[in-house]
C-alpha cells in the first residue's frame, strides 16, 4: 500500500475509500519523544506486524536545510538523529517499512533541539552556603540549569541569565560546577566543569553584658577556621570602630559606655586567609548605677515615695526594699506600700534593660514603729499569782501592760522585759493589752486577751456512803462556778460526776479502796479549778472470792485472800441433812480459810461469805456449790447365772447416777457400767476367787469407790463325759475333772427312769446298776458347791442304750443337749 495505491484512489475519485485506507495504515503505530540535546533528537515508536525496517527523517521547519534521515532494523524501537543544529525546530517523521520496501505505517512529530552547550567563565563563593557562576549567553536559550556536585550529593537550580547563584551548599566544601542551557525543547549537555569552594561559615555570635561597661561575645568553633575578626561600634554611629583578631572563641570588650547599644560583626578566616561569611548582632550595655536616691514618708498605710535621677539606656527601674517591699517604674519615682511595723527598711534602686540589671544603688534606710506584741500568755503559777508573758518584737525598746478587771479595777506594768506578775482573785474576768514602744512611737493595738480566772474552790465538803459502793458528797456554792465536777480516783482510774447542783453521788466505786475525792468548780470560759484540795475516803471491804477445795470426800476447805487487815469474815453453808461442820476462821499472810468436815455423802451444799470492817459491810460473795461424793450401796449380791456369767445387783446409793461394777482376780477382770442397780458380767472363770468392788458416780462426775466381800465362782464343769457298758445291766459314767479336786454328782435322765450316782471325793467315775436298756438317756455330771448345792448349768450329753436280750447292749453317743 504505497504511493501507487494513493494515486489510484485519486484517479478514480473515491476519496472516502482513500481516507479509510490511510487510517488503516496508521492504525496501531505511534511515536513519542525520548530525549533531546543540542544536536540530537531521540524518538520511540511502537511495533507493527510485518515490519522489516524503520526510517527516521528530521526536516528543519523554520530555516532552510537538508533533511537528515537514519534507517534502523525492525527490531529497534528507539532511534536517534544526530548532527542537527542547536535551538532549531524539526519535523521528525517515522516510517515502518516491510521487506518489499512498502510503507506499512508512518507518523510524525515536531521537536525543537536544545540550545548549544554553554561555557563557564568563572565560579566563586562569597557566602558559605552559595557559589556564583558567570558565563556567556547562548543563543536560543530561555534559561540555564546550574549543577553543583561534591561527590555525595548533586544540587541543581535554574536561573534566567548570567550571573547565577546556586544555594543551600555546605560551608568550606569544594564543588564541581557545571552549566546547561535550556529552552522549550529541553536542555543541553553539561558544560565542562569548574571547581569552586564555598567560604567558611560565619561565627554564630552570642552576646551578653555582665556589667555596665563591658560586652562578652562567645561562639562555637567554625569548621576549618584558624582565626576570627570581630569589629565593634556604637549603633548610633558615634565614635570609632574597634576591630580585633583572635584565634579563641570568646572576646570581651571593656571600657564601654553604660546603657549604649553596640553593633558587633564577626567573620572567620581559613588557612589560605580566605575570609568567611560574616554575622552581626546588636548588644546594649547595662545601665549605670543610680545615685541620689531619696525617701519621702507619706504614711504607714500609703507608704514611702522613692525618687532618683534617670540614667542612659534604662528601660525600667525597680525599687527593692527589705521584707519583700518593692515597686517598679519607667519614670523617676514610685511608692512602696504598705509599710510593715517593726522594720528598719533598707531600700535600693536598680535600673534594667535587655542586657540585665545595673548594680544596686547605695541603700537608704528608715525606721517604723514596733509591731504589736504577739503570743501573749497568762500562766497561773499558783492560785492567785498570774504571770503575763509575750514574745518580744523587733525594734521594741520597752513595753506597757494594761490589766482591767470586769468590775472596773485597772492596773498597769511598765517593763523592758517580756513578763509581768500580777495578783489575781478567783472567779473574775481580766482584759490584758500589751503595747511596744521605740523612738518612732507606740505600736498599733494588738490582741486584747480575755482571761477568766478559775472559779473558787467549793467549801464545806461532806462525803458520806449511802451504800457499799456509792458515795454522796455535798458542799456550799462558790463565786464563778457554773458547774461542779467531782472526781474520785484510786490511782488507776477516775470516776467523774458533773452537775450544776451542789450535791453528787459517785457509784460503782471499787471495794476496799482508798479514794481521793476532789470537788472542782468549773466555768464554760475558764474550765475547772485544778487547785482544789482532795478529801480521802475508804470503801467497804470487797466481797470474798471464795474457793472450795476437797480435802477428803467428806471434808472441804473454803479459802479466800484479802489485804484488808481490819475486816472480819463470816462463812455461811446451807443445805444437806443433819449438818455438822466446823466454821472456825484461820488466817496466814493475807490468806483465810474455814474447814467443813464430816459432811454426809450424796449431798449438795451452798457456801458464801461476807466481810465486815469499820467502813461497812461487803456484799455477799458469790455462792459456790459444794457436793459430796455419792453414797455406796448398802447391799450387793453376786449370783452365778452360767459357768462364765454372773449377775450382780445392789441397793441404790444416795447421790449416785451411774455405777461401775468390777470383779477382779489374778486371771483377769470383768466390769460393767450401768445406770441400773444390777448388771450381768461375762467372761467369769470357774473355780476362781474374785474381789468385788463398785464405783458410785454422781451426775457431776464425783466418784465413791465401794469394796464388798469377795466372791468365788462355782467349780468347773467336767469334760469328756462318757458312758461305758458293764456286766449285769450296769453302766459306768466317766468324766475328766477340771480345776482341782471337787465332789461330783452324775445324773441319767431317761423316759422310763432316772438314775444318780455320787462317787467318792477325787474320783472321776461312778457306776449305776440295773439300768433299763432300750432307752435314750440324758447324762449330766455336776460339781457340788461348798454349801452342798449342785451346779445346774453343766452341759448335757445324750446316749442311746440298746438291749441285747434282756441285758444292756450297745451304748451309742447321740450328741449334746442344751441346758433346760
Find the mean pLDDT for residues 172-196.
Answer: 93
φ, ψ of residue 9 in degrees (nearest 5): -60, -40
Res. 422 pLDDT band, cuts 50 70 90: confident
Which whole-number Å values give the CA distances from 633 to 682, 709, 715, in the listed order? Answer: 22, 13, 29
SS in 3 state form for 241-260?
Answer: CEEEEECCCEEEECCCCCCC
CA distance 521 to 427: 10
Per DSSP, what are the bridge partners of residue 515? 537
CA distance 686 to 671: 16
- For 120, the grid coordinates are 563557564
pLDDT the model gives residue 819: 46
Fold of 719-817: Immunoglobulin-like (2.60.40)
pLDDT the model gives residue 743: 85
For residue 671, the number of C-alpha atoms closer than 13 Å in the C-beta half-sphere is 11
CA distance 325 to 316: 17
* Least confidently predicted of 128-132, 137-141, 739-743: 739-743
Shortest CA distance to 450 belongs to which of 435, 430, 434, 433? 430
φ, ψ of residue 302 in degrees (nearest 5): -85, -25
Shortest CA distance to 171 belongs to which of 113, 131, 120, 121? 131
- For 194, the grid coordinates are 569548574
Could you tell me if 267 and 229 are in contact, meaning their C-beta atoms sit under 8 angstroms apart? yes
Q: How buried is residue 6: exposed, middle or buried, by Cβ count under 10 Å (0-12/13-18/19+)?
A: middle
Considering the segment(s) 377-452 as one domain, its CATH architecture is Sandwich (2.60)
CA distance 749 to 752: 8
Considering the segment(s) 547-627 as one domain, its CATH architecture is Sandwich (2.60)
Per DSSP, what are the bridge partners of residue 564? none
Res. 648 pLDDT band, cuts 50 70 90: very high
pLDDT the model gives residue 574: 82
The answer regarding whether domain 120-197 maps to CATH 3.40.50.150 reads no
Residues recorded for the chain: 820
Give the DSSP letter string of 351-411.
Answer: EEETTEEPPPPPPEEEE-PPPPP---EEEEEETTEEEEE----TT--EEEEEEEETTS-EE
Task: Quote the radius of gyration of the chain (alpha carbons, Å).
Answer: 72
* Long-range contacts, stretch 589-592, CB < 8 angstroms, 24+ apart: 590/561, 590/562, 590/563, 591/559, 591/560, 591/561, 592/544, 592/559, 592/560, 592/561, 592/562
Using DSSP's 3-state secondary structure scheme, residue 711 falls into strand
Res. 13 pLDDT band, cuts 50 70 90: very low
CATH superfamily for domain 636-712: Immunoglobulins (2.60.40.10)
Shortest CA distance to 425 belongs to which of 405, 401, 402? 405
pLDDT the model gives residue 14: 30
Per DSSP, what are the bridge partners of residue 703? 697
Fold of 3-112: Immunoglobulin-like (2.60.40)
Element housing 19 (H / E): helix 15-26
pLDDT the model gives residue 7: 35
Give the DSSP letter string of 166-188.
Answer: E-SPPTT-EEEEEEEEEETTEE-
Category of 390 on φ-ψ map: left (φ > 0), alpha (ψ -120 to 50) or beta: beta
CA–CA–CA angle 6, 9, 12 (5° rounding): 150
* Least confidently predicted of 50-54, 77-81, 615-619, 675-679: 615-619
Shortest CA distance to 287 belongs to which of 248, 261, 269? 261
Which whole-number Å values give the CA distances from 8 to 5, 12, 21, 100, 167, in the listed order? Answer: 5, 6, 12, 20, 66
CA distance 300 to 160: 78
Percent of the chain's residues with pLDDT above 90: 42
* Least confidently predicted of 224-228, 553-557, 703-707, 772-776: 553-557
Shortest CA distance to 217 belongs to which of 173, 277, 259, 267? 267
Could you tell me if 204 and 128 are in contact, meaning their C-beta atoms sit under 8 angstroms apart? no
CA distance 465 to 511: 12
Q: How buried is residue 744: exposed, middle or buried, by Cβ count under 10 Å (0-12/13-18/19+)?
A: buried
SS in 3 state form for 483-510?
Answer: EEEEEEECCCCEEEEEECCCEEEECCCC
CA distance 561 to 72: 142
Q: How buried is residue 99: exposed, middle or buried, by Cβ count under 10 Å (0-12/13-18/19+)?
A: exposed
φ, ψ of residue 741 in degrees (nearest 5): -90, 130
CA 604 to chain centre: 63
CA distance 341 to 777: 144
Res. 580 pLDDT band, cuts 50 70 90: very low
CA distance 341 to 435: 13
Q: What is the pLDDT of residues 451-492, one digit of tens each?
A: 888 888 898 888 888 777 888 899 999 888 889 999 998 888
Find the mean pLDDT for residues 376-399.
Answer: 86
Question: What is the overall mean pLDDT for the chain?
Answer: 86
CA distance 521 to 504: 13
Q: What is the pLDDT of residues 197-223, one digit of tens each?
A: 999 999 999 999 999 999 999 999 999
Find the mean pLDDT for residues 37-55.
Answer: 91
Per DSSP, what are the bridge partners of residue 815? 798
Find the mean pLDDT for residues 669-690.
Answer: 89
Which whole-number Å values give the CA distances from 190 to 198, 331, 376, in the listed order? Answer: 21, 68, 99
This prediction has a pTM of 0.44
* Least confidently predicted of 88-92, 130-134, 241-245, 439-443: 439-443
Category of 11 on φ-ψ map: left (φ > 0), alpha (ψ -120 to 50) or beta: alpha
- For 326, the grid coordinates are 518593692
- For 370, the grid coordinates are 514596733
Res. 450 pLDDT band, cuts 50 70 90: confident
pLDDT over threshold 50, residue 430: yes
CATH superfamily for domain 206-284: Immunoglobulins (2.60.40.10)
Shortest CA distance to 599 belongs to which of 557, 552, 554, 549? 554
- For 16, the grid coordinates are 472516502
Category of 156 on φ-ψ map: left (φ > 0), alpha (ψ -120 to 50) or beta: beta
Shortest CA distance to 267 belongs to which of 232, 241, 230, 234? 230
pLDDT over threshold 80, residue 817: no
Res. 581 pLDDT band, cuts 50 70 90: very low
- For 613, the grid coordinates are 470492817
Per DSSP, what are the bridge partners of residue 757? 746
φ, ψ of residue 551 in degrees (nearest 5): -95, -50
Domain with CATH 2.60.40.10 in the chain: 3-112, 120-197, 206-284, 294-367, 377-452, 459-538, 547-627, 636-712, 719-817
Per DSSP bridges, beta strands 503-506 and 796-804 are unpaired
pLDDT the model gives residue 801: 86
Q: What is the pLDDT of residues 358-387, one digit of tens each?
A: 999 999 888 888 889 998 888 877 777 888
pLDDT over threshold 60, residue 603: yes
Q: In the chain, count of helices (H) and strands (E)?
A: 2, 69
CA distance 93 to 219: 66
pLDDT over threshold 50, residue 3: no
- Calculate the CA dihedral of residues 779, 782, 788, 789 and round it to 10 degrees: -80
CATH superfamily for domain 294-367: Immunoglobulins (2.60.40.10)
Helix, strand and coil percent figures for the chain, each rounded to 5: 5, 55, 45
What CATH number labels 459-538? 2.60.40.10
DSSP assignment letter at 784: B
pLDDT the model gives residue 588: 52
Amino acid at each position: 500500500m504505497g504511493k501507487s495505491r494513493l494515486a489510484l484512489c485519486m484517479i478514480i475519485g473515491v476519496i472516502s475509500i482513500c481516507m479509510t485506507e490511510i487510517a488503516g495504515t496508521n492504525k496501531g503505530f505511534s511515536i513519542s519523544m525520548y530525549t533531546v540535546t543540542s544536536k540530537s533528537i531521540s524518538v520511540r515508536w511502537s511495533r507493527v506486524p510485518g515490519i522489516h525496517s524503520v526510517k527516521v527523517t528530521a526536516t528543519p521547519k523554520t530555516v532552510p536545510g537538508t533533511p537528515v534521515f537514519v534507517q534502523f532494523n525492525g527490531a529497534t524501537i528507539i532511534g536517534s538523529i544526530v548532527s542537527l543544529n542547536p535551538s532549531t525546530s524539526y519535523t521528525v517523521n517515522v516510517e515502518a517499512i516491510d521487506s518489499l520496501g512498502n510503507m506499512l505505517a508512518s507518523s510524525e512529530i515536531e521537536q525543537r533541539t536544545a540550545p548549544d552547550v554553554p561555557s563557564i567563565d568563572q565560579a566563586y563563593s562569597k557566602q558559605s552556603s552559595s557559589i556564583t557562576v558567570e558565563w556567556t549567553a547562548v543563543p536560543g536559550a530561555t534559561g540555564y540549569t546550574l549543577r553543583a556536585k561534591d561527590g555525595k550529593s548533586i544540587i541543581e537550580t535554574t536561573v534566567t541569565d548570567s550571573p547565577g547563584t546556586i544555594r543551600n551548599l555546605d560551608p568550606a566544601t569544594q564543588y564541581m560546577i557545571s552549566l546547561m542551557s535550556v529552552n522549550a525543547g529541553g536542555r543541553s549537555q553539561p558544560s565542562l566543569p569548574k571547581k569552586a569552594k564555598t567560604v567558611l561559615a560565619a561565627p554564630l555570635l552570642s552576646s551578653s553584658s555582665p556589667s555596665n561597661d563591658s560586652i562578652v561575645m562567645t561562639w562555637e568553633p567554625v569548621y576549618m577556621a584558624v582565626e576570627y575578626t570581630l569589629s565593634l561600634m556604637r549603633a548610633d554611629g558615634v565614635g570609632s570602630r574597634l576591630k580585633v583578631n583572635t584565634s579563641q572563641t570568646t572576646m570581651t570588650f571593656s571600657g564601654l559606655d553604660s546603657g549604649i547599644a553596640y553593633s558587633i560583626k564577626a567573620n572567620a578566616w581559613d588557612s589560605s586567609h580566605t575570609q568567611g561569611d560574616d554575622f552581626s548582632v546588636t548588644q546594649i550595655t547595662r545601665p549605670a548605677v543610680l545615685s541620689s536616691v531619696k525617701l519621702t514618708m507619706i504614711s504607714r498605710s500609703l507608704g514611702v515615695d522613692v525618687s532618683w535621677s534617670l540614667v542612659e539606656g534604662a528601660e525600667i527601674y525597680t525599687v527593692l526594699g527589705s521584707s519583700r517591699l518593692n515597686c517598679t517604674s519607667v519614670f523617676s519615682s514610685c511608692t512602696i506600700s504598705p509599710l510593715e511595723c517593726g522594720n528598719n527598711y533598707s531600700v535600693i534602686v536598680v535600673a534594667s534593660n535587655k542586657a540585665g540589671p545595673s548594680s544596686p544603688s547605695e541603700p537608704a534606710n528608715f525606721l517604723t514603729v514596733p509591731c504589736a506584741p504577739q503570743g501573749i500568755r497568762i500562766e497561773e503559777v499558783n492560785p492567785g499569782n498570774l504571770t503575763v508573758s509575750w514574745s518580744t518584737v523587733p525594734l521594741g525598746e520597752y513595753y506597757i501592760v494594761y490589766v482591767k478587771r470586769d468590775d472596773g479595777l485597772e492596773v498597769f506594768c511598765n517593763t523592758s522585759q517580756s513578763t509581768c506578775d500580777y495578783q489575781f482573785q478567783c472567779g473574775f474576768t481580766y482584759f490584758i493589752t500589751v503595747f511596744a514602744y521605740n523612738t518612732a512611737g507606740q505600736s498599733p493595738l494588738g490582741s486584747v486577751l480575755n482571761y477568766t480566772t478559775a472559779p473558787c474552790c467549793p467549801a464545806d465538803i461532806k462525803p458520806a456512803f449511802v451504800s457499799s459502793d456509792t458515795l454522796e458528797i455535798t458542799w456550799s456554792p462558790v463565786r464563778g462556778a457554773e458547774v461542779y465536777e467531782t472526781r474520785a480516783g484510786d490511782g488507776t482510774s477516775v470516776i467523774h460526776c458533773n452537775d450544776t447542783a451542789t450535791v453528787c453521788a459517785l457509784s460503782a466505786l471499787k471495794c476496799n479502796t482508798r479514794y481521793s475525792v476532789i470537788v472542782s468548780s468549773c466555768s464554760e470560759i475558764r474550765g475547772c479549778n485544778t487547785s482544789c484540795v482532795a478529801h480521802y475516803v475508804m470503801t467497804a471491804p470487797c466481797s470474798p472470792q471464795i474457793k472450795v477445795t476437797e480435802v477428803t470426800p467428806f471434808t472441804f476447805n473454803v479459802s479466800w485472800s484479802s489485804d484488808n487487815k481490819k475486816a472480819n469474815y463470816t462463812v455461811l453453808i446451807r443445805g444437806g441433812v443433819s449438818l455438822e461442820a466446823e466454821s472456825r476462821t484461820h488466817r496466814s499472810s493475807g490468806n483465810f480459810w474455814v474447814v467443813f468436815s464430816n459432811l454426809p455423802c450424796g449431798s449438795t451444799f451452798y457456801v458464801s461469805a461476807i466481810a465486815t470492817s469499820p467502813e461497812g459491810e461487803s456484799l455477799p460473795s458469790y455462792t459456790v456449790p459444794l457436793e459430796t461424793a455419792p453414797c455406796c450401796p448398802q447391799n450387793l449380791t453376786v449370783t452365778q447365772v452360767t459357768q462364765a456369767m454372773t449377775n450382780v445387783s445392789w441397793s441404790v446409793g444416795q447421790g449416785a447416777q451411774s455405777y461401775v461394777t468390777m470383779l477382779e482376780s489374778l486371771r483377769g477382770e470383768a466390769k460393767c457400767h450401768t445406770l441400773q442397780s444390777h448388771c450381768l458380767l461375762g467372761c467369769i472363770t470357774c473355780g476362781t476367787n474374785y474381789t468385788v468392788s463398785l464405783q458410785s458416780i454422781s451426775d457431776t462426775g464425783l466418784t465413791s469407790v465401794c469394796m464388798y466381800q469377795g466372791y468365788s465362782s462355782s467349780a468347773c464343769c467336767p469334760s469328756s463325759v462318757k458312758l461305758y457298758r458293764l456286766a449285769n445291766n450296769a453302766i459306768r459314767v466317766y468324766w475328766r475333772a477340771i480345776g482341782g479336786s471337787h465332789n461330783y454328782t452324775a445324773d441319767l435322765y431317761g423316759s422310763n427312769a432316772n438314775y444318780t450316782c455320787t462317787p467318792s471325793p477325787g474320783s472321776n467315775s461312778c457306776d449305776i446298776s440295773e439300768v433299763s436298756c432300750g432307752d435314750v438317756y440324758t447324762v449330766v455330771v455336776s460339781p457340788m458347791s461348798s454349801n452342798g448345792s449342785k451346779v445346774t448349768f453343766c452341759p448335757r450329753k445324750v446316749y442311746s442304750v440298746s438291749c441285747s436280750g434282756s441285758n444292756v447292749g450297745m451304748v451309742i453317743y447321740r450328741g449334746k443337749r442344751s441346758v433346760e
